[in-house]
Structure 1
């Protein structure tokens, strides 16, 4: 049995960018888990309408 695993999870979230305004986008989280309990997010990225993959640092969560 592995103690530490890495899981990938995709969620649909509302994001806000200054150029496009509010948008719904797929955000993928890569998390480290210890005994199936997530304790650290390694990386998160989002996919644009055009199929590009961008880091989530460029946009912020919608209010």
Structure 2
């Protein structure tokens, strides 16, 4: 049994960009797990309407 694993999870979130405004997009999180408990998020990215993959630092969460 492995103690540390890496898991990829995708969920839909509301995001806000200055140019487009509010949008709902699929955000993929890559997390490091220790005994199936998440300890660190390694990377998160989103796929645009046109199929490009962008880092989530460019847009913020919509409250």
- Scaled to the shorter chain, the TM-score interval is over 0.9
Q: What does residue 39 of structure 1 align with?
A: 39
Please give the TM-score of this superposition, normalised by the length of structure 2.
Answer: 0.99
After TM superposition, list the pairs within 5 Å mapping 1:11-30 onto structure 2. 11-30=11-30
Q: Take 1:56 and 1:36, find their aligned partners in 2: how far apart are those partners? A: 24
Q: Take 1:47 and 1:20, find their aligned partners in 2: how far apart are those partners? A: 15
Q: List runs of 5+ in structure 1 lacking aligned partners.
A: none
Q: What does residue 52 of structure 1 align with?
A: 52
Residue 48 of structure 1, CA deviation: 0.3
After TM superposition, list the pairs within 5 Å mapping 1:5-16 onto structure 2. 5-16=5-16
Q: List runs of 5+ in structure 2 lacking aligned partners.
A: none
Please give the TM-score of this superposition, normalised by the length of structure 1.
Answer: 0.99
RMSD: 0.3
